[in-house]
Structure 1
Amino acid sequence: MAGGEGAKEMHLNISTPLVLTIYIFTFVIGLPSNLLAFYTFLVKVRQKPTPANVFLLNLTVSDVLLLIFLPFKMVEAASGMVWNLPYFLCPITNFIYYGSIYISSLFLMAVSVERYLGVAFPIKYKLCRRPAYAAVASVVFWVATYCKCSIVYIVQYKNGPSSPIQSNESYCYENFTATQLQILLPVRLEFFIVLFCLPFTITLFCYVSFVRILVALPSIPARRKQRAVGLAVATLSNFIICFAPYNLSHLVGFVQKDSPRWRVYALLLTTLNASMDPAIFYFSSTAVQRAFADCLTGLRHRLSSLMAWCHVSCLTCCKEEDREGKASTEDQAEESKTGPPI
């Protein structure tokens, strides 16, 4: 099957309501929670920076970037997966969209390594732990990931008029020619090995070891152990649910020499990453837990005040209607006694 025909079938088969539902759910849940987490980690980094908070702050930045550009993907989905927006927004949106997948994987790995070293080698790690090292590692992650994701631009403009966005259907970064696939498929395989398998393997080892060490220590409070388990489960679930299917499509596509039809659904799952990361933030930091709790308390208070106001307004309206009804009944009774006017 040619790359263009495969893209057409994939776009015709995907459910637009499903795509919009996932995009809207991610945006509504992810944006406020990530902004709250971003503010919390920013305050902590300014006050007393730690490597973990530096990594988590960068992770929130990645999620917020994705969420800022997500409305463009919503417009695409609402248009039947046809790109009707200005041409230049297609590569920019996909550059941020795909970059967030792999930058998130790297920062989740970095957090897991930091947690593991903190419990496996507490004294040695405390002596050499520096927030500046985390800042340098963060810059390397950003640069390396987005240099790799520049393939979006290379493929987008490869072969001039044959580029995906130039076709009559105006699909954005899906309708590939055979020449473009020769470039893209090996790069995807490299993404699968270097930017997914390696971070996932390291993260799995670190969190399994991290939880095993904490559970074995009798002096550790039960609440901290529960937080450790929750952090490990949330992170590994993120990898398995959001990133694994999409990255496996790289391997399948390389073997089949074409993008598999289910790839569009796997790509859709990666969007959920921005709504699942807040769970990781919650288990990673007591400050985020307090911020989320305060926010929920404030929302509950405002909702209670709104419900009380609505209740009072309804009672007031009902009383007024009762008074008007009684007045009308009394007028009718008076008319029946006196008879109709002559």
Structure 2
Amino acid sequence: PDAPPILAVYILTFLIGLPANLLAICTFFKKLGNKPSPNDILLFNLTASDLVFLLFLPFKMYEAAAGMEWHLSQTLCSIASYFFFTTIYTSSLLHMPIAIDRYLGLVFPIKYRLLRKPLYAAAGSIIIWLVSAAHCSIVFITVHMPDPNATLPKNVCYVQFTEQQKKILLPVRFEFFVVLYMLPLLICIFCYINCIYILYTRPRITKEKKQRAIGMALCTLTIFLLCFLPYNLSHLVGFSSNNSPLWRYYTLLPSTLNTCLDPFVFYFSSSTFRESKTVSLLKKWCFAHKKTKKSETELVIVAK
């Protein structure tokens, strides 16, 4: 793979994603101590997943800076890859209960309010972390699988595999595609399409709430289709061709951008995040800047 573009994407993701998610984690952490909603707990876990991803992203930066070679230990390669992939799938899975929470709240507003408890959201988040962590343990199994006939180079990290490794890895990746990607995607599509339909058939719902629902749906589907689809498609291609495609490394790049798009999900789905002091200041600055630009344009037109 061509290292400079890969490194550029990683650096851009890190510079944008880290401050945005630090802002979000501080906001949701404060809320956790003051009657958090199930949605706040799910979004807190989504933010935590993004931050863990960003903390291990420098290892990928190092790899790209070294010309896509790995000069550290294979154990460190396994650990970095494990957390890298675990957080990607934790994020995709967490979008599913967030969508379900919004859907049930609209369809069964009274019944669901009685059943909606933070404890259930916390338990669901723990289960999601465990499911993605258990699935991604295939990284350790694959990398450290004993193979006396292996002739793979030792200066790469989780890129090339022996035939014995492929026999285990490729079917597991296909299961990733079906269970950890397609299932959450289909559930999110169902929930958000129905949410938008319900909101637009109820005349008393404010225009702002309808716009937020559309924004939430578009952000989530963009993350699934733009960020997660290319990488997960490489699993399908690899399984059908019985080979790990070399171009799959490029499909990881959109997955990293997920950490930059998730803050938009936080904005559309959480009043806690929208009403935080920093976000409020940013909104005021943006509107003031826009207003100043408009005034300058009007003055130029008048002058002409």
TM-score normalised by length of structure 2:
0.89
Match of 2:295 in 1: none
Query: Offset at 1:67?
Result: 0.3
Q: Kindly provide the amino acid, as one letter, of the partner of residue 203 in structure 2.
A: P
Query: Offset at 1:185?
Result: 0.3
Pair 1:218–1:92, CA change in 2 (3 A): same
Query: Offset at 1:160?
Result: 4.7
Q: Percent identity?
A: 48
Query: Offset at 1:287?
Result: 2.6
Match of 2:182 in 1: 197
2-structure distance, mates of 1:128, 1:210: 19
Residues 182-202 of structure 1: CA distance to partner in whole angstroms, max 9, x if unpaired? 000000011011111111000
- Contact 1:162–1:177 (Cα < 8 Å) also in 2: no
Matched, 1:24 2:24: no
Q: Which runs of 4+ in 1 moved over 4 A?
A: 160-163, 292-301
2-structure distance, mates of 1:161, 1:69: 31
Pair 1:139–1:61, CA change in 2 (3 A): same
Matched, 1:140 2:127: yes
Q: Paired residue for 1:66, among 40, 48, 53?
A: 53
Match of 2:237 in 1: 252
Q: Paired residue for 1:95, among 82, 87, 92?
A: 82
Query: Offset at 1:45?
Result: 2.1
1-structure distance, mates of 2:161, 2:27: 42
Match of 1:224 in 2: 209
2-structure distance, mates of 1:299, 1:168: 54
Pair 1:230–1:125, CA change in 2 (3 A): same
Matched, 1:215 2:200: yes
1-structure distance, mates of 2:183, 2:82: 22
2-structure distance, mates of 1:168, 1:197: 34
Equivalent residues in 2 for 1:1-342, closer than 5 Å: 14-160=1-147, 167-291=152-276, 293-294=278-279, 297=282
Q: Kindly provide the amino acid, as one letter, of the partner of residue 17 in structure 2.
A: G
Residues 168-225 of structure 1: CA distance to partner in whole angstroms, max 9, x if unpaired? 3511011100000000000001101111111100011001111111121111111111
Residues 208-243 of structure 1: CA distance to partner in whole angstroms, max 9, x if unpaired? 111111121111111111111000000000000011
**What SS class does the counterpart of residue 220 from structure 1 fall into?**
coil
Q: Kindly provide the amino acid, as one letter, of the partner of residue 112 in structure 1.
A: A
**What SS class does the counterpart of residue 47 from structure 1 fall into?**
coil
Query: Offset at 1:162?
Result: 6.5
Tell which deviates more after alignment, 48-57 or 258-267.
258-267
Q: Kindly provide the amino acid, as one letter, of the partner of residue 100 in structure 1.
A: T
2-structure distance, mates of 1:298, 1:161: 60
1-structure distance, mates of 2:145, 2:210: 52
Query: Offset at 1:139?
Result: 0.8
Query: Offset at 1:18?
Result: 1.0
Residues 25-45 of structure 1: CA distance to partner in whole angstroms, max 9, x if unpaired? 110110000011011111122
Q: Kindly provide the amino acid, as one letter, of the partner of residue 141 in structure 1.
A: I
Residues 15-61 of structure 1: CA distance to partner in whole angstroms, max 9, x if unpaired? 21210111011101100000110111111222111111111100000
Q: Kindly provide the amino acid, as one letter, of the partner of residue 40 in structure 1.
A: T
Query: Offset at 1:161?
Result: 6.0
**What SS class does the counterpart of residue 238 from structure 2 fall into?**
helix
Pair 1:161–1:222, CA change in 2 (3 A): farther
Pair 1:222–1:293, CA change in 2 (3 A): farther
Pair 1:298–1:220, CA change in 2 (3 A): closer
What is the root-mean-square deviation in Å for CA atoms of aligned residues? Answer: 2.1
- Contact 1:82–1:169 (Cα < 8 Å) also in 2: no
1-structure distance, mates of 2:282, 2:178: 44
Pair 1:120–1:26, CA change in 2 (3 A): same
TM-score normalised by length of structure 1:
0.80
Query: Offset at 1:260?
Result: 2.2
